[in-house]
């Protein structure tokens, strides 16, 4: 069924309508349809000045609700019209512009009522790949990710997915700009805003497929709401990004009157995740928190102007968004955190790549690896889940979010799924204490 969207949004569903003045709107230069792994499709819009070539790119992900990004509201419209940047945004599955009534998008219920966060992330990633093929966008130019409310979670998940599936693209990200970032799991946010009894009714409708009532109440279908309730708090996303150990600049924009988000709680969540994985002098996170008095969840004119300035600083690589300098003392050999050692131990195998199978075993506070038919090597911990081989430091290794060991050699990456426990013979051989480092006196 397809119909025109009604503007009946409950307060806990967070549109990003107030961040940009109407004058910041720009017509799309190009649009296409992109598809998520689920098979659901989204419209992707590229805003750029006609005739522009090789621009940096901002990818904007907005909050919950029914609207179309055919005229995106992210406040970089002046820079888009001036030919300084291109802007990519993606509609939710089932939503498309209404040529007869621009303010009332058309909605395909079957697709819209069932979309998940994974659909939004997949569509954003596919839209990004498409945008890179457009003349207006530099094929390997700087990238800035922006997300508001639900979109903040999409932006975080998009960056994590890029690290896993398109590391060259992830390396182009100059900054992550997040506004109205949810602090709690969605169920807790819901109960705080509409009361426990109403929240329980909404959750029951989500579990039972009560699309019609939910859409009247909040503009979101049962499948989508169930996915939000099951997703849990966003700390898992932060932990995955922190573990990767890649340099990242994040700026949080929050209104003091935002009842959905506690700015200090958000900042604490970010810093604690990176503290767990990295020593203070080598923490790859550059974090800023900007607070706006008398601004609510949707921000105000001051926040909009600030977002535009920070976005431009990010794609230009200025100030806190300047590319991180490499460490000045070369290779690291950090202790592996205890909680990581046990879960990383195992055998990893792949039918392609330079190594048919690798056993990884804990030895003291280090990991030791034994490739089949090759010399044993110690994995030098570089922070997060990244390592170098001691016998050839040009060989890099990291463990990705899917639990695979990824070997990086000769400019190529070879993912190796975990296939079982480590080789018992190697475990027995390494059961003794770790060897005394060279140059140290034995006790």
Task: Check: CB of residue 266 under 8 Å from CB of residue 191.
Answer: no
- Given this model, what pLDDT does residue 426 score? 78
Higher-scoring residue by pLDDT: 12, 422: 422
Q: What percent of the chain has pLDDT over 90?
A: 31
Name which of 5-9, 76-80, 247-251, 364-368 the model is least confident about.
Answer: 5-9
- Given this model, what pLDDT does residue 184 score? 67
pLDDT confidence tier of residue 25, bands split at 50, 70 and 90 = very low
Task: Check: CB of residue 355 under 8 Å from CB of residue 407.
Answer: yes
Cα–Cα distance between 367 and 199 in angstroms, integer?
47
The residue extents of the domains of the chain are 2-184+233-321, 338-429
Whether domain 338-429 has CATH 2.40.128: the reply is: yes
Q: What is the pLDDT of residues 188-205, one digit of tens each?
A: 777 766 778 887 887 887
Task: Single out the residue of 252, 115, 117, 278 nearest to residue 176, CA to CA.
Answer: 252
Give 266-286 as a DSSP string.
HHHHHHHHHHHHS-GGG--EE
Mean pLDDT of the chain: 81
Name which of 72-86, 146-160, 323-337 the model is least confident about.
Answer: 323-337
Tell me which range, 70-79, 230-239, 278-287, is most confidently predicted by mean pLDDT: 70-79
| Distant-in-sequence, close-in-space partners of 376: CB < 8 Å, separation ≥ 6 | 368, 369, 370, 426
Question: Ramachandran region of residue 41, left (φ > 0), alpha (ψ -120 to 50) or beta?
Answer: beta
- Given this model, what pLDDT does residue 209 score? 72
* Residue 56 pLDDT greater than 60, yes or no: yes
Whether domain 2-184+233-321 has CATH 3.40.50.1820: the reply is: yes
Q: Which residue matches tokens 């921000």?
A: 299
| Equal CATH topology for 2-184+233-321 and 338-429 | no
Angle, CA 92 vertex, CA 88 and CA 95 arms, to 5°: 110
SS3 string of 14-71? CCCCCCCCHHHCCCEEEEEEEECCCCCEEEEEEECCCCCCCECEEEEECCCCCCCCCC
* Residue 321 pLDDT greater than 60, yes or no: yes
* Residue 10 pLDDT greater than 60, yes or no: no
pTM, two decimal places: 0.69
In total, the chain counts a number of residues equal to 443
Task: Check: CB of residue 251 under 8 Å from CB of residue 144.
Answer: no
């Amino acid at each position: 069924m397809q119909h025109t969207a009604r503007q009946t949004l409950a307060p806990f569903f967070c549109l990003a309508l107030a961040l940009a003045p109407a004058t910041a709107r720009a017509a799309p230069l190009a649009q296409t349809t992109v598809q998520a792994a689920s098979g659901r499709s989204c419209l992707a819009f590229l805003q750029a000045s006609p005739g522009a070539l090789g621009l940096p790119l901002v990818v904007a992900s907005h909050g919950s609700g029914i609207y179309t990004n055919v005229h995106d509201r992210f406040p970089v419209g002046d820079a888009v019209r001036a030919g300084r940047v291109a802007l990519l945004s993606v509609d939710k599955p089932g939503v498309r512009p209404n040529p007869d009534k621009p303010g009332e998008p058309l909605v395909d219920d079957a697709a819209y009522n069932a979309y998940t966060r994974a659909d939004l992330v997949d569509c954003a990633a596919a839209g990004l790949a498409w945008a890179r093929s457009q003349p207006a966008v530099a094929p390997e130019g700087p990238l800035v990710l922006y997300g508001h409310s639900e979109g903040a979670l999409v932006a975080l998940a998009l960056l994590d997915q890029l690290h896993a599936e398109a590391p060259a693209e992830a390396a182009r990200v100059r900054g992550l700009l997040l506004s109205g970032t949810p602090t709690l799991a969605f169920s807790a946010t819901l109960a705080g805003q509409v009361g426990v009894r109403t929240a329980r009714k909404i959750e029951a409708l989500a579990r039972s497929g009560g699309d019609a009532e939910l859409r009247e109440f909040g503009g979101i279908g049962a499948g989508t709401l169930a996915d939000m309730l099951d997703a849990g708090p966003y700390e898992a996303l932060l932990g995955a990004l922190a573990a990767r150990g890649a340099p990242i600049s994040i700026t949080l924009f929050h209104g003091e009157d935002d009842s959905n988000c506690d700015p200090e709680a958000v900042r604490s969540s970010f810093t604690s995740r990176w503290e767990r994985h990295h020593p203070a002098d080598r923490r790859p996170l550059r974090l800023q928190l900007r607070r706006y008095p008398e601004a609510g969840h949707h921000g105000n004119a001051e926040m909009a102007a600030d977002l535009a300035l920070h976005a431009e600083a990010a794609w230009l690589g200025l100030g806190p968004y300047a590319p991180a300098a490499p460490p000045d003392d070369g290779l690291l050999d950090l202790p592996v955190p205890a909680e990581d050692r046990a879960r990383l131990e195992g055998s990893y195998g792949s039918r392609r790549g330079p190594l048919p199978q690798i056993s990884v075993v804990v030895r003291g506070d280090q990991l030791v690896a034994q490739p089949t038919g090759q010399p044993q090597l110690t994995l030098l911990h570089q922070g997060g889940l990244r390592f170098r081989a001691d016998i050839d430091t040009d060989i890099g290794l990291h463990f990705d979010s899917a639990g695979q060991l990824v070997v990086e050699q000769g400019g190529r990456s070879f993912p190796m799924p975990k296939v079982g426990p480590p080789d018992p013979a190697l475990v027995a051989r390494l059961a003794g204490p770790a060897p005394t480092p060279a140059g140290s006196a034995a006790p």
